[in-house]
């Protein structure tokens, strides 16, 4: 393993770099992750089998987009590739710190600024991944068309192929599709992190938010904010300051569960049917 890491550092950083320590980093469920301390600083390395190289290629593109258009801190990509039948992504290491007094205010304001970066269509010029699952970003003029065709339908097909969902659930989704234009207010496509929940942000050394593991695309900003509420939610201060900076349409809270059908389907396909109950509750409510 040390030879693998040494090769990566010498290739992307310096032929003379010297590794001091390597340590496994917990928290991820898809890749092997390490902190690498060297004589020139610390770095973060994630790796997987060579066949998943596309996952790291698209992650690097997502980080580059966020670096360019978002005021929120993200780790800078330093190199990617395939060595010894392993694919990898090397980034800068972000040291953990203590939350500043204005942490949630700044986080909410900065996400609002990120979402003000818009595009003419929903989607992206390339596909990527959410976790280890492929995510299609084929572009659409309509959010609801994009949401149905590039988010819900692919996950439903995958779940069906794994015998994870029943035909009655499929029928209820079809019923929901016909109601989305009434339920979801129109918005301009906004630059989304795409997988923003409490496990994908941290507090850096200056006490500010840093986000990572993106699944970037241009989407309806409500779906990003809904995702932040899925597993415990963020502080109420975050939503207050976001809404002051970039006001939401009335009734957002009533639409959260519709937007979260997508991440719940992703979790069904990654982790099993224990996530179906939330999907069924939402379908029963809206169909």
Structure confidence by residue, pLDDT tens digits, 184-197? 999 999 999 999 99
* pLDDT tier for residue 13 given thresholds of 50, 70 and 90: very high
Residue 219 has pLDDT above 80, yes or no: yes
d(CA 232, CA 50): 34
DSSP H or E run through 107? helix 103-115
Pick the CATH number of 2-92 from 1.20.120.160, 3.30.70.1400, 3.30.200.20, 3.40.630.10: 3.30.200.20
Q: What is the mean pLDDT of the chain?
A: 95
d(CA 165, CA 156): 8
* pLDDT tier for residue 232 given thresholds of 50, 70 and 90: confident
195 is catalytic: yes
189's tokens: 């496509």
**E runs forming strands in the chain:** 19-24, 32-38, 41-49, 77-83, 86-92, 128-130, 133-135, 190-192, 201-203, 209-211, 217-219
Contact 64, 77 (CB under 8 A): yes
Q: Taking Cα atoms as reference points, which of 165, 230, 171, 161 lies closest to residue 199?
A: 230
- Express as a percent the part of the chain with pLDDT over 90: 93
Please report the pLDDT score of residue 29 as a whole number.
65
pLDDT digits (tens, 9 = 90+) for 252-284: 999 999 999 999 999 999 999 999 999 999 999
Please report the pLDDT score of residue 27 as a whole number.
61
Average pLDDT over residues 172-199: 97
Average pLDDT over residues 195-224: 96
Residue 80 has pLDDT above 80, yes or no: yes
Exactly one of 125, 195, 213, 253 is catalytic; name it: 195
* Three-class secondary structure of residue 79 per DSSP: strand
* pLDDT tier for residue 70 given thresholds of 50, 70 and 90: very high
Q: Is the pLDDT higher at 11 or at 31?
A: 11
Q: Is the pLDDT higher at 27 or at 163?
A: 163
Q: What is the number of helices (H) and of strands (E) in the chain?
A: 12, 11
**Domain map of the chain by residue range?**
2-92, 103-286
d(CA 202, CA 208): 8
Architecture of domain 103-286: Alpha-Beta Complex (3.90)
pTM score: 0.95
Beta bridge partners of 87: 48, 82
Average pLDDT over residues 2-30: 88
Q: Taking Cα atoms as reference points, which of 43, 98, 54, 46 lies closest to residue 76?
A: 43
* Three-class secondary structure of residue 89 per DSSP: strand
């Amino acid at each position: 393993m040390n030879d693998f890491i040494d090769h990566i550092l010498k290739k992307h950083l310096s032929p003379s770099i010297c590794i001091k320590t390597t340590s496994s980093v917990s928290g991820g469920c898809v890749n092997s992750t390490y902190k690498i301390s060297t004589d020139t600083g610390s770095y973060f390395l994630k790796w997987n089998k060579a066949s998943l190289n596309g996952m790291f290629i698209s992650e690097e593109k997502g980080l580059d987009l966020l670096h360019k258009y978002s005021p929120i801190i993200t780790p800078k990509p330093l190199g990617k590739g395939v060595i010894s039948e392993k694919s990898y992504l090397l980034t800068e290491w972000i040291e953990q710190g203590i939350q500043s007094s204005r942490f949630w205010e700044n986080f909410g304001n900065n996400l609002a600024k990120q979402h003000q970066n818009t595009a003419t269509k929903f989607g992206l010029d390339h596909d990527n991944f959410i976790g280890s699952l492929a995510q299609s970003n084929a572009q659409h003029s309509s959010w609801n068309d994009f949401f149905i065709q590039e988010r819900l339908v692919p996950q439903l097909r995958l779940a069906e192929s794994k015998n994870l969902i029943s035909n009655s659930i499929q029928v209820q989704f079809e019923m929901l599709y016909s109601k989305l234009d009434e339920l979801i207010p129109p918005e301009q496509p906004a630059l989304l992190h795409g997988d923003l929940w409490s496990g994908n942000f941290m507090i850096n050394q200056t006490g500010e938010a840093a986000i990572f593991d993106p699944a970037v695309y241009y989407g309806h900003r409500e779906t990003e904010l809904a995702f932040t509420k899925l597993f415990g939610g963020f502080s109420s201060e975050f939503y207050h300051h976001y809404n002051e900076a970039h006001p939401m349409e009335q009734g957002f809270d009533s639409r959260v569960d519709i937007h979260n059908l997508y991440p719940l389907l992703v979790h069904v396909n990654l982790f099993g049917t224990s996530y179906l109950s939330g999907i069924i509750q939402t379908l029963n409510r809206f169909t």
